[in-house]
Amino acid sequence: MNVLCLGVSHQTASVEIRERFAVPETRLPEIALEIGALPGVEEAVIVSTCNRVEYYAASGNAPEALDALRCYLQARTPQTFPLRPGESEPFYTLSGPASIDHLFRVVSGLESMIIGETEILGQVKKAYAAASRAGSTSRHLNKLFQRAFNVAKEVRTRTSITRGSVSVGSVAVDLAERIFGNLSRCRVMILGAGETSELTARALLSRNVRSLFVSNRSFDRAAQLAAQMGGEAIHFDQWDQRFSDIDILVSSTAAPHPIITGEKLSPIMKQRSDRPLFVIDLAVPRDADPDVNRLEGVYLYDIDSLQAIADRGLENRQREITQCEALIARHVGDFYQWLTAGPGTPPVHLPVASRKI
Amino acid sequence: MERLLLILSTICFLLGFAYTAYLLRKGRHRHSRFNLCVMGIGFGLQTWFLHLRGQAIGRCPLTNFFEILIFMSWSIVLLYLLIGPTYRLSLLGAFTSPLVCAFQIVALLAPIDTVHALGARPDPWLEMHAALSIIAYGAFAMAGVAGVMYIAQERQLKNHRLGSFFYEMPPIMHLAVANTRLLWAGLILLSVGLLCGFMVNAHLNAYKIGWGVIMWCLYLAILVARRLGPRRVALLSVGAFSLSLTALLGLNFMIERVRL
């Protein structure tokens, strides 16, 4: 028995190509059944996300199954992507330990656009559940995917691959949680309804902040954004009057000089000595005077400092890859041994060679 | 047997500290049960030691500086085990264990386990006074530990230099709350301890009582002046505990000298 993987991903194909092969979630069971019925294919699971479309198959005759898979894809997308016989690009085709290794890497987030992200695990779980419900999986793929989920869990707990944040929005949310703990009691104010501040506010809203105020020079834009996010719009000349209630301020106005100054904050901070204030300044030129960070209880982060933390987070994750790979290689060896020799055989640790057929 | 128990408990705390320090250094700290387990075992051994010592002398084992240090270590670990999981301050163990280790190593190495002539029957008010006061100092020690953690966390947040254990530390607001609550707990225990002291029939050491009252006033002032902000409260709780420890050391040293 062999495990095959045929797919396209953000590493091998542009979004124009990937979108032609994407399978809607509702059609996953149906397509999985069609794949499972192809000559040489005994079991099938389809993983389709915005960054990858992959067909996993268990087969007793790998060359026959791969030909059938290619023909199937050619038939399915004749106009949009005509595949000639024998043409494999932009698809990668993996078999044996390489395909097992690939799945384990995918679920662990090592193949993701943002290394270590965990959303992919949920997406693969959904894809497997859809295939399982449709009856296109059996002993081999059931075991493979269950093992993959265990590997992902082990990678997450035994390495720091998911640690730290790698985007400005997630860094801001992480820092807010390091300051306030649970954000459900926090009040957020957005000053200047720009795109980055909107994204950051949305990231904070995903943690169920208590309330949101939006203030912008154009009140209509503030009202529009407030309505979209379930917040309250405030006239721009009144934002500082609501300031004493705020825990997190996200600022990105087009003001040519600092509008958040020590003179403005100092009296407010004296009234709320045991409540910190987190100022996220995303504007260039900056909205907050850097000296504000010297006030007790005020934590000021500008766009550069947030980006620097995100970059360090990414570097840390990249450093963890080797450890993740060693851990995955052990599981690949175990699983491949089981797959080729059957259960009950003692596990061996095989080196994983990335090979294409 | 007694000292062996104490050595073993010190090894437990050292192990806990070394393991956490190793994980932090590697940047791989996780909320494992190992630290809690070794602290629990160390606490069990401490309790066993205090029980044996109490049986041997027929009263609460607070008759010399050696016993005071062990009793204080015991109360610190007790508070850690009680509040650590409640406030999810698991990393508190990394800061608590070195303090407890230091106390126990000093107790084991310094020639302070002196035997004194004791009265036939212990006064229960005196026992309560001594035990509650030492547990209060345990609470102040934990407040100091929370204060150190607050200052470390604040420093990282202000300087934008997020170290390997930044993400493992409790949120800074939780640390401020824990710090204040521990100070209140310590103050209440010290108040009851001092009241018990006034009920004792025998003559008490005036320096010790006087110092207890001064510390009570100092901690009350820190709590009343909370408007100073959590940073200053954290700094003051560290300073006040260092002062009380130094004074306790000095006073007991003086008393031992007088006895000799």
pLDDT 10s digits, B90-107: 556 667 888 889 989 988
Residue B1, amino acid: M
One CATH from 1.10.275.30, 1.25.40.10, 3.30.460.30, 3.30.160.270 for A2-163+316-340: 3.30.460.30
**ipTM, 2 decimals?**
0.79
Instruction: Domain ranges for chain A, please list them.
Output: 2-163+316-340, 168-309
| Contact call for B27 and A179, based on CB within 8 A | no
> Using one digit for the tens of pLDDT, what is the confidence trace for B229-243?
889 999 999 999 999
Question: What is residue A170's predicted lDDT score, i.e. its pLDDT?
Answer: 85
- Calpha distance B216→B205 (Å, rounded): 17
- The single residue listed with the structure tokens 């192809």 is A38
Tell me whether residue A50 is one of the annotated catalytic residues: yes
Listed range (A104-113, A204-213, A271-280, B224-233) with the worst mean pLDDT: B224-233
B229:A164 CB<8 A: no
- pLDDT at res. A294: 92
Would the pLDDT of A346 be above 70?
no
Judged against a pLDDT cut of 50, whether residue A261 lies above it is answered with yes
Tell me if B173 and A309 make a contact (CB, 8 A cut-off): no
Pairing of strands A248-251, A187-191: parallel
Percent of chain B with pLDDT strictly greater than 70:
88
> Over chain B, what is the mean pLDDT?
84
Looking at per-residue pLDDT, the higher value among A109 and B33 belongs to A109
Instruction: Find the mean pLDDT for residues A47-68.
Output: 90
**Would you call B172 and A301 a contact, using CB atoms and an 8 Å cutoff?**
no
Which of A50, A71, A186, A324 is the catalytic position? Answer: A50
Is the confidence at residue B41, as pLDDT, over 50?
A: yes
Name which of A198, A206, A169 is nearest A309 in CA terms: A169
Mean pLDDT of A278-287: 91
C-alpha distance from residue B249 to each of A47, B106, B245 (Å)? 68, 11, 6
Using 50, 70 and 90 to split pLDDT, how confident is the model at A347? very low
Single pTM value for the model = 0.75
Percent of chain A predicted with pLDDT > 90: 39
Smallest Cβ distance to A160: which of B27, B153, B173? B27
Structure confidence at residue A150 (pLDDT)? 95
pLDDT(A293) > 90: yes
- Residue range B183-193: mean pLDDT, rounded: 93
Euclidean distance between CA atoms B81 and B97, whole angstroms: 12
Give φ, ψ of A259 to 5 degrees. Answer: -105, -15
pLDDT value for B27: 61
* A82 or A112, greater pLDDT: A112
What's the gap in Å between the CA of A200 and the closest CA on chain B? 18
Confidence of residue A81 (pLDDT cuts 50, 70, 90): low
Calculate the alpha carbon distances from B146 to A50, A225, B89, B230 in Å: 45, 41, 9, 11
Helix (H, G, I), strand (E, B) or coil at B244: helix
pLDDT at B119 over 80: no
Q: Please tell me if residue B28 touches chain A, with a CB cutoff of 8 Å.
A: yes
Taking contacts as CB-CB distances below 8 angstroms, the residues of chain A near B160 are 301, 305, 308-309
* Cα–Cα distance measured from residue A283 to residue A216, given in angstroms and rounded to the nearest whole number: 13
A17: Cα separation from own chain's centroid? 21
DSSP string, B165-199: TGGGSPPHHHHHHHHHHHHHHHHHHHHHHHHHHHH
Could you tell me the CA-to-CA distances from A216 to A126, A239, A242, A283 in Å, in that order?
41, 9, 14, 13
Cβ-in-10-Å burial (0-12, 13-18, 19+) of A331 comes to buried
How many other C-beta atoms lie within 10 A of the C-beta of residue A223? 17
Q: Is the pLDDT score of B207 beyond 50?
A: yes
Which residues on chain B are in Cβ contact (under 8 Å) with A316? 27
pLDDT at A25: 84
| pLDDT over threshold 60, residue A356 | no
pLDDT tens digits for B145-180? 889 999 999 999 999 988 767 777 888 998 998 899
* pLDDT at residue number B153: 92
User: Which pLDDT value is given to residue B29?
Assistant: 54
Q: Is A16 on the interface with B (CB under 8 A)?
A: no
Residue A5 backbone dihedrals phi, psi, to 5 degrees: -140, 130
Contacts of B225 in chain A (CB under 8 A): none
Residue A292 confidence (pLDDT): 93
Which of the four pLDDT bands, split at 50, 70 and 90, describes residue A348?
Answer: very low
Residue corresponding to tokens 């860094």: A171
Q: Between residues B24 and A241, which one has the greater pLDDT? A: A241
Rounded to the nearest integer, the mean pLDDT of chain A is: 86
- In A, minimum Cα distance to B234 occurs at A274
What residues of B are in contact with residue A305 (Cβ under 8 Å)?
A: 160
Q: How is domain A168-309 classified at the CATH fold level?
A: Rossmann fold (3.40.50)
| Separation in Å, CA of B5 to nearest CA in chain A | 34
Asked whether residue A200 carries a pLDDT value surpassing 80, the answer given is yes
Tens-place pLDDT, residues A176-196: 999 998 899 999 999 988 787
Residue in A179, A274, A308 nearest the CB of B157: A179
The DSSP secondary structure of A159-173, one letter per residue, reads S-TT-S--SHHHHHH
> What are the pLDDT digits (tens) for B47-79?
999 999 888 888 788 788 888 889 889 988 988
pLDDT, residue B89, reads: 53
* pLDDT greater at residue A110 or residue B29: A110
Sheet holding A298-302, edge to edge: A232-235, A211-216, A187-191, A248-251, A277-281, A298-302
Q: What confidence score (pLDDT) does residue B30 get?
A: 57
